[in-house]
């Protein structure tokens, strides 16, 4: 079994638990793993790779993702979301809908983002949340992210607003929540989060673990939909397998490679036009 399942992860279970339940239900014997975690209190699209599809983890992790998130202004919890009941900041300054609409476009662009201290961010081989739970100081270096779209969907009540956010892989929505509130001279907590899209995988086509079947397995090609295709002969592919690089007329970059209509993997061409296959899918 090789491919992806578009799982709708339900509220209250970890991504690891979702994978365990899926593996048990479908009796999957091949390697299995998710292509980007969702917190237990988040719901929505969880892409699960099976077999050789796991070799496309880095590709899937870089895909654009879309979320619907609810922000409640006026207080900030320790974890920046409703998972913690410990309130660390409060503010009586609640932004109006007009103020939010006036400033939402300022959240679009490339930024240096600092992940929440209660996150799975790797710090010297340990998760940030492990260090934070021990009461130690957590120093997280900023990383580059891009927000492609940030828009208000609706005002839920006086303090609570729902947003749709499209962003690059590796973006923390809780950090967006925190940074937007700071811009508006307020504090905020994210009270709900749903991932609605990951690359070409959409929530409209996702299924809960109870409803999913083997027939829902998507081919690896879907992860490489936006890659250009490169043509190499079967002989050249065999030469690459044997450790050689093949000269091509292609510009440098990454391509999807087929052999007799079968996806071989990702072919990488360097600046000298030499082709190699760093990611094999056969």
Whether the CB-CB separation of 7 and 212 falls below 8 Å is answered with yes
270 an active-site residue?
A: no
Catalytic residue among 30, 39, 157, 270: 39
Q: Which positions are catalytic?
A: 39
């Amino acid at each position: 079994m090789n491919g992806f399942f578009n799982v709708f992860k339900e509220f209250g279970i970890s991504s690891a638990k979702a994978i365990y339940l899926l593996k048990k239900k479908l009796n999957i014997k091949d390697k299995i793993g998710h292509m980007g975690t969702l917190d237990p209190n988040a719901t929505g699209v969880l892409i699960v790779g099976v077999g050789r599809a796991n070799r496309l983890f880095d590709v899937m992790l870089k895909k654009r993702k879309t979320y619907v998130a609810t922000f409640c202004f006026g207080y900030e919890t320790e974890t920046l979301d409703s998972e913690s009941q410990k309130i660390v900041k409060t503010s009586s300054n609640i932004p109006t809908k007009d103020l939010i609409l006036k400033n939402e476009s300022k959240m679009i662009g490339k930024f240096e983002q600092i992940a929440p201290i209660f996150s799975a961010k790797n710090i010297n081989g340990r998760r940030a949340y492990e260090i934070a739970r021990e009461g130690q100081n957590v120093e997280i270096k900023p990383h580059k992210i891009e927000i492609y779209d940030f828009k208000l969907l609706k005002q839920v009540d006086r303090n609570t607003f729902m947003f749709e956010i499209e962003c690059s892989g590796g973006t923390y929505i809780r950090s967006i929540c925190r940074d937007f509130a700071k811009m508006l001279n307020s504090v905020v907590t994210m009270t709900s989060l749903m991932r609605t899209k990951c690359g070409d995988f959409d929530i409209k086509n996702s299924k809960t673990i109870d409803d999913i079947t083997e027939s829902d397995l998507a081919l690896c090609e879907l992860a490489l939909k936006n890659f250009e295709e490169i043509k190499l002969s079967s002989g050249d592919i065999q030469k690459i397998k044997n450790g050689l690089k093949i000269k091509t007329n292609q510009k440098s970059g990454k391509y999807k490679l087929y052999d007799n209509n079968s996806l071989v993997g990702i072919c990488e061409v360097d600046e000298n036009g030499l082709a190699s296959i760093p990611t094999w899918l056969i």
